Amino acid sequence: MKSEASKLASYEIDALVNEHCECGENPLWDERRNLIFWEDIPNGLIYSLDPKTGKHQTIYDGDAVGGFTFQEDGKLLLFRDHDIAILNEDGTTEVLTRDIEPATGRFNDVMADPEGRVFAGTMGKDGAPSGGLFRVDLDGSVTKLWGGTSCSNGMGFTPDLQKMYWTDSAAQKIFLFDYDRATGELSNRTEFYSTLDGSTPDGMSVDAAGDVWSAHWDGFAIHRLSPDGALKESLKFPVGQVSSLIFGGENLDEIYVTTAGGTFRKGEENVSQSTPDGTLYRVRVGVKGQPRFRSRIQI
């Protein structure tokens, strides 16, 4: 693999909102309303932004949310510490499932599939390898697919929907699986990418041509990888903890990028305004992405 320095990309990077997120994560584009949603995990906050007007607001303030999807009806399906809940339009929540697995920690990145199921990763408790990947089927039943990691992370589908990527941040690797759309089964695990620069692959998205865009925690970058796992280019950021990204915009040719390391703590009044850590960014890459699927979990 060529050195990262020889593949640096030059794009205009816009800082959109700085909520000083302790751990900004899970950016999700709402193509129906042209809004971007994201969260600050440890502070239990979810935000929305209209990029055209610049108006942003807090739409959820509660228990920590590791990830969320849009349901087909537009409501948010929240994957929290040890439960799955619906966020209603009036701000109330309705718990669907509790106590997924006592040995595991909170949920982390989640992703709906074409049939409306949800793949949901978890963290290990206190750094232990007790996290893993779960599948939530349409009837709300939860199946553990595997364990053995302390940090399950970003996922994505190949454009033909024949394969699925899954990031094991603890191993600093991205894996590729055969994906059966009819059953939701994953098989034939192979290693797709292993980081070489000491940073940690985090959230990810796949574009319409099949390139993988991987946010790198402690790497100040997003790496663009070809379908064979080769590094095509790196997008550099002024923030070290680049946590996740999603394609958005009216033509799905922009990426919205979350970062972490901000100084905000719920209940504290004094927040430093001098650091870009925890900012939501936008990069106009001119590459078309794929829309994310919506969940259809029975309520």
Task: Please give the positions annotated as active site.
Answer: 202
Q: What sign has the CA pseudo-torsion 99, 30, 151, 261?
A: negative
Task: Kindly report the backbone phi and psi dihedral angles of residue 81, in degrees, each rounded to the nearest multiple of 5, phi listed first.
Answer: -65, -60
Q: Return all residues near 276 (Cβ < 8 A) that are at least 6 apart.
A: 15, 18, 238, 239, 259
Task: Kindly report the backbone phi and psi dihedral angles of residue 125, in degrees, each rounded to the nearest multiple of 5, phi listed first.
Answer: -70, 130
CA geometry: angle 144, 93, 21, nearest 5 deg: 80
Q: Distance between CA 74 and CA 190 in Å, rounded?
A: 35
Residue 154: closest CA among 117, 201, 191: 201
Question: How many CA atoms are closer than 13 Å to the CA of 243, on its beta-carbon side?
Answer: 27
